Structure 1
C-alpha cells in the first residue's frame, strides 16, 4: 500500500468528482425519458435517437479531444467540458422542441468527451510511476459513483417533481463544481509549487519523443490488438447496461418495478469488479494485458453459468450477469485508464486514452443494434454465444499482443529503439 501527499489526494478527489459529475448530467436522461414521452407524446424511437447520437458524438469526441488534451492545459479543457455540460443540462430542462433537445444533447456529448483523456494525462504529471496504475483505477470508479448518483438522485427528483428538475439540478451542481475545479486544480506539481520525486523521471525524459504522430505510435506499439480487446469489453459492458432490464423482464417474467429493484445491484458489483481488477493486476505485478486476459477467461465462465443456471432463480441470474458486467468494468479500467499511461514517453497519454475510449464506444454503438437483432432471431442464448465468441477473439488478440511484447524485449537488447511493452 502506498501513501499519497496532500496535494496528490486533492488532485485525485478533484478528478474523481469531475468525472462522476458528468454522469449526473448524462444518465439523467434515461430516468427522465418516460415522463418526457408522456409530456410531449414522443415515441421511444425518437427518444432513443437522442441517446444514440450522444454515444456516437461522445465516441468521436474522445478521438478528437484525446489528441487536443496532449497539447493544452487539462485544467482549461476540463473546465470547458464541465461548464458546457452544465449549460446544456440547464437549457435542456427549459426545452420543449425535439430538435432543440437533440442539438443540446449532442453538444453535451462533445463537451463530456473532453474529460477522460486529459484526466489520464494528469495522472502521469502528478503521480510517481508505481502509483499511476492504482490511481487510474481509483479514478475510474467515478463511473460507478456517477451512475449511482444519477439513478438515485434523478429518480428521487422525478418522483417528487417534474422532469425539468432532473436537468436543472445536475446542471447547477456541475456549474458550481466547474468553478471549484478551475480554482483548485493545477496541471503539474510545478504549477502548484510542489515537487514529486519520481525515480523513473530521468529515464522517461530521455526516452520521451513527441515527434511521433498518433498513427505512428499505434503502428509502432501494435496497438491494434488492444483495440480488439476494447471492442470486446465495449460490446459486452454496454450491452448489459442497455439490455439488462429487458433481459431480466423476458427471462425471469418480472415487471419493470421488480426488475429495477434487482438491477440496481449491478453498479455495485461493477465497483467490486474494478477493485478485483486492481487487486489481480497487483498480484500479476502490473502486467495489464495478462490481467485482462484472465478477466476475459473469467467472463466466459460467468456467461456459461448464466445460460446454464440463470433460469432457475432471479438471484442466480443476477449474480452471473452482474459478475460478467463487473469483470468487463474491471477490464475497462485497465484498457482505458492504465494502458494509456505507458504512452507518456511519446507524450500521447491523452491521445491513446481518447482513441481507445472511441473504439470502445464505437463497438458499443454497433452492439446495441446487433444485440436486438440476435434476440429477435435466436433469443437471449444467441446473444450469450455472440459474447463468448467475442471474448475468444479478445483472448487471441491479447495473446498476440503479449507475443509482440516478447519480440520487442528481445529487440531492445540489441538496439537503442524504444518499444512500448506491457
Structure 2
C-alpha cells in the first residue's frame, strides 16, 4: 500500500530534450502559474470557512468561544507540522498530484462539517483539514522554483501570493453571504464545492516540471547537481532561516488574529451586523491582493531585490493598522475601513516576504520546499497559539447581561499589537542574510 502511494506521488520522469522551445515553455509557465494561483486561492476558501460561521455556531449553541479556539488551533497545529513535513516532501514529489489530493480531501472535510454538530468531530476534521491544507503551499513554491528563473521568480511569487487574498476575499464576501441567507451548514458546503472545482483546475492545467515536459531545466547547473538531501541540510543549519521563522510566526499571530477573530470582534465590540463586519474585514483581503502583487516589484525595482527594508516598513504599518482596528471605539466606520486597508496592504507584502520569498532567496533552490517548511511550522504554531489564547481570553471576558453576551476585549488588544511589533524586531536582525544565487 505504501509503495503504491509512493509511486502515485513520484515525480514524472524526465523526457528527452530535443531542442529548446521557448513558446512551449512560456505557455506551460503561464498554465502552471494560473492554476497554482487559482488552486491555492480555493485552498484558502476551504481553510477560512470556519471564520465566517463562528457567531452562528455560538448563537446556535453548537460550540462555545473556548471550543472555537481549540477547533481553530487544531488546524493551525496540524498545518504547522504538515507544512514542515510536506515542505521537505515537496522537493521530491509530483506537485500536481500532491496539491490536487490535498484540496480534494480539504473539500470533503468542509462538506462533512456542514453535516456535523459535535465538538470533537469539529476538532478531528478541522485538524485533518490542517494537514491536507499544508500540501498546497509547498507544491506551489517548489513549482515556482522549477518553472521560473531567479530573475523572474520574485515577481511571479508576488503575484502568486495574491492567491491568499483572493481566497480570503471569496470567503468574506461569497461564503459570508451564503451563511447569512442559508445558514452555517451551507457555508461549509459551498466552500467544499469551490475546493473540488479548484482540484479539477490543478489536475488539468498544472504540470510537474519543465523536464517532465521535454524542456530543459531553468535551474542553474550547480543547483541541478546538488542532492535534495544536502540542500535541505543547508537549510536546517542556516540561522537566518530560523530568525526569519520567528519573525513570520509573530506576523502570523497578528494576521490570524484579524482573520480568525476580526469579524467576531466587530460584531460584539462595535455592534456591526454579520454582513457589515464581514465586508469590513473583506476590505483587508482585497487590499492584500494589491500588496502581494506589488511586493515583488517593490523589492526588485525600488530596493534592488532587498526584501528586508520593505518588510520592516510594512511590518511597522501592520502594527499601526491593528492598533487602529482594536483601539478606536465604536462609531468610527471610516477609521475601521482605513485600518483594514492598511492592514491588508501590509499583510499582503509581509506574507510574500516573511512567509516564503525571503526563505527561498537565502536557501538553495533544490530545497525551496524545506525552507518554506521551516518558516511554515513556526508561522502556524504561532497562529495556533494565537487562536487558543484569543479564544480563552475572549471567553473568560464574557458576561451575560439580560441574556445578551458582553465581552471585554482589553487583554487581546495588546496581545495582537505586541505580536506585530515583535515581528518587526526579529525582521531587523536579517540585514546580513545573503542570497543563494
1:245 matched to which residue of 2?
Answer: 263
Q: CA separation of 1:42/1:60 partners in 2, compared to 1, >3 Å: closer, same or farther?
A: same
2:405 matched to which residue of 1?
Answer: none
Specify which of 288, 299, 318 is matched with residue 281 of structure 1: 299
Q: CA separation of 1:190/1:388 partners in 2, compared to 1, >3 Å: closer, same or farther?
A: same
Shift of 1:25: 1.8
TM-score, structure 2 normalization: 0.79
Q: CA separation of 1:215/1:96 partners in 2, compared to 1, >3 Å: closer, same or farther?
A: same
**How do 1:4-403 residues align onto structure 2 when only pairs under 5 Å count?**
5-36=26-57, 41-195=62-216, 198=218, 201-205=220-224, 208-212=226-230, 214=232, 216-248=234-266, 252=270, 254=272, 256=274, 258-282=276-300, 283-302=302-321, 313-342=332-361, 345=364, 347-370=366-389, 389-403=418-432
Q: What is the number of residues matched between the two proteins?
A: 402
Q: Contact 2:162 / 2:348 at 8 angstroms: preserved in 1?
A: no
* CA deviation vs aligned residue, 1:72-129 (integer Å, no higher than 9, x gap): 2111211220221222233333445443343222222211111111210010111122
5+ residue gaps in structure 2?
1-22, 398-407
CA–CA distance in structure 2, aligned partners of residues 185 and 204 of structure 1: 23
5+ residue gaps in structure 1?
406-419
CA–CA distance in structure 1, aligned partners of residues 322 and 181 of structure 2: 38
Shift of 1:133: 1.1
2:10 matched to which residue of 1?
Answer: none
Q: CA separation of 1:127/1:298 partners in 2, compared to 1, >3 Å: closer, same or farther?
A: same
* CA deviation vs aligned residue, 1:115-154 (integer Å, no higher than 9, x gap): 1112100101111221111111111111111122223332
Shift of 1:331: 0.8
1:416 matched to which residue of 2?
Answer: none
Q: CA separation of 1:384/1:273 partners in 2, compared to 1, >3 Å: closer, same or farther?
A: farther
Give SS of 2:210's match: coil
TM-score, structure 1 normalization: 0.82
* CA deviation vs aligned residue, 1:186-223 (integer Å, no higher than 9, x gap): 21112223446x4x6235336x3534374652323532
Q: Contact 1:273 / 1:323 at 8 angstroms: preserved in 2?
A: no
Q: CA separation of 1:341/1:161 partners in 2, compared to 1, >3 Å: closer, same or farther?
A: same
Shift of 1:49: 2.8
CA–CA distance in structure 2, aligned partners of residues 88 and 307 of structure 1: 33
Q: CA separation of 1:211/1:193 partners in 2, compared to 1, >3 Å: closer, same or farther?
A: closer
CA–CA distance in structure 2, aligned partners of residues 340 and 278 of structure 1: 14
Q: CA separation of 1:215/1:25 partners in 2, compared to 1, >3 Å: closer, same or farther?
A: same
Q: Contact 2:223 / 2:365 at 8 angstroms: preserved in 1?
A: no
CA–CA distance in structure 2, aligned partners of residues 345 and 256 of structure 1: 46
Q: Contact 2:356 / 2:372 at 8 angstroms: preserved in 1?
A: yes
Q: Contact 2:303 / 2:309 at 8 angstroms: preserved in 1?
A: yes
Give SS of 1:348's match: helix
